[in-house]
Amino acid sequence: MSALGAQDAAARTTSSVDVVVVGAGFAGLTTARRLRASGHAVVVLEADERVGGRTKQGRIAGEVVDLGGQWVGPTQTRLLALAKELGVATYPQYDAGRNMIDIAGYRAVYKGETPQLTAEAMPEFAEVIGKIEAMAAKIPAAQPWQAADAEQLDAHTVESWLGLNTKHPAVRTMIRLMTRAVFSAEAGQVSLLYFLAYAAAAGSFNALISTRGGAQDALFEGGVWQLAQKMAAELGSAVVLEAPVQSIAQDGTGVTVTTPKGEWRARYIVVTAPPAIASRIQYAPPLPAQRDGLTQRMPLGCVIKVHIAYSRPFWRDQGLSGLVLSDRTEFGPWFDHSPTSGKTGSLVGFFDGAPAQRWADRTVEARRAQVLKDIALYLGDAALTPVEYLEEVWTRSPLNRGGYVSVPGPGVLTAFGPALREPFGRIRWAGTETAEAWVGYIDGAIRSGERAALDLAGQL
């Protein structure tokens, strides 16, 4: 054996713990903290060179920003409690002034949470939102496949349901854009049952799309990613970075987990990666048919997140909030994300769904040009001269391959849904996709970690 080979062999020692946690996002870090607090030995194996999962820190114009998840709503109590525990304050999303909308050829400015369509379209829009809320209220968020009409709802996409329940083109377009913004997927790709269960898990559809009082209510001073950083610092050497899990072998007494940095032996393992990413691990014995089927049918949405910094928030001079929603642009929606220091102005927005698919493989220069062109269409030529541009192409990220959440198409939940949380021997599943409330959000990830830790604490 060569000297290098001997070093590699020496490095691949087998360590023993009570529980191995796969993934150092909010679900994995929460699981590990809870188990350690219960007196159990844990290790968190993270494939990336950083912690945080689908949250990530960036810096633009001297300000720290979130390149992944960033907002928090008042009913996301687990995330708010964690921030309070770790000493991180929140501040409200800027919403003063008028919002702008441009849908189906009708352009308007308005105040408040309700988008303004034409006078002819508004009654139908209100009726459709009412139907969505009424249907979502009947869905058991934790087990939507057990809804009375689950198979019928799961046979539809959001798009096919719109075709049967809307007449006005502007209403259809508006719901399509809302679906794209929430799921980073097109209405024709999202199961209606999942759409309704997602709303139920947030408390309502309005909670998903609203700023004040909704999911976009507030942000974190210094960014939300720092909460993951603080949890990881507390766990210290129990967090192992750049250690992608290659295989999980289980037997009657435990699991053996293999990574390029060595092997770990544990009594149990918690896998927090989203289903499609978790499927890249080799399992012995192989995954049950239902779980494997789920992983093949639940891809992540497509999203590119963009921050644009300006010398000042010039749109506020026009009495605008910075929020723009349009069916004429590739980029959007976007929001005012100006720092509280007042030193600069900033917008944050997204390529979501089909636009993200179209733009993910193009150059950063091409994306930047499109973003500025789209913003200038509504905010004027001042939008063409930012001081800095920053983006994160989550769809190309090799360890994430998308965001914000995994999105099942029609027929998936009723056929494979129970496998989301069903244990497989000594393997437990966590992650925001498995949450029973606020699925797809950081709060949901935390809740899933709490559930997994509670389950294993009882087993251990």
Paired with 138 in beta bridges are none
Rounded Cα distance between 360 and 367, Å, is 9
Mean pLDDT across 74-90: 98
At 81 the three-state DSSP class reads: helix
At position 342, the amino acid (one-letter code) is G
pTM of the model: 0.96
Residue 11 has pLDDT above 60, yes or no: no
Give percent of the chain with pLDDT exceeding 90.
Answer: 96
Half-sphere exposure of 457 (CA within 13 A, CB side): 15
Mean pLDDT across 68-87: 98
Rounded Cα distance between 91 and 219, Å, is 5
Q: Is 286 exposed, middle or buried (0-12, 13-18, 19+ CB in 10 A)?
A: exposed
Tokens representing residue 22 in the block: 């796969």
Mean pLDDT across 383-407: 97
Compute the C-alpha angle 8/11/14, nearest 5°: 125
**In the structure, what pLDDT confidence band is assigned to residue 371 with cuts at 50, 70 and 90?**
very high
pLDDT value, residue 12: 57
Mean pLDDT across 383-389: 98
pLDDT value, residue 3: 40
Task: Provide the 10 A C-beta neighbour count for residue 354.
Answer: 16
* Helical spans, DSSP H, in 166-224: 169-183, 192-202, 205-209
First to last CA, the chain: 41
**In the structure, what pLDDT confidence band is assigned to residue 343 with cuts at 50, 70 and 90?**
confident
| Average pLDDT across the chain, whole number | 96
Give tens-digit pLDDT for 157-208.
Answer: 999 999 999 999 999 999 999 999 999 999 999 999 999 999 999 999 999 9
Helices 169-183 and 122-136: angle between axes, nearest 10 degrees: 40
Paired with 248 in beta bridges are 257, 283
Strands 345-352 and 303-310, sheet pairing: antiparallel
Give percent of the chain with pLDDT exceeding 70.
Answer: 97
Give tens-digit pLDDT for 264-313.
Answer: 999 999 999 999 999 999 999 999 999 999 999 999 999 999 999 999 99
Distances (CA, A) of 392 to 22, 96, 369, 373: 23, 27, 16, 19
Least confident of 10-24, 94-108, 299-313, 316-330: 10-24
Residue 231 has pLDDT above 90, yes or no: yes
Rounded Cα distance between 140 and 28, Å, is 25
pLDDT value, residue 361: 97
Residue 363 has pLDDT above 90, yes or no: yes
Tokens representing residue 254 in the block: 């435990």
At a CB cut-off of 8 Å and minimum separation 6, what does 334 contact? Answer: 306, 322, 323, 324, 347, 348, 349, 350, 375
Give tens-digit pLDDT for 425-446.
Answer: 999 999 999 999 999 999 999 9
At a CB cut-off of 8 Å and minimum separation 6, what does 443 contact? Answer: 72, 76, 77, 78, 79, 435, 437
Q: Is 439 exposed, middle or buried (0-12, 13-18, 19+ CB in 10 A)?
A: buried
Residue 4 has pLDDT above 50, yes or no: no
Tokens representing residue 325 in the block: 């929603």
Give tens-digit pLDDT for 29-46.
Answer: 999 999 999 999 999 999
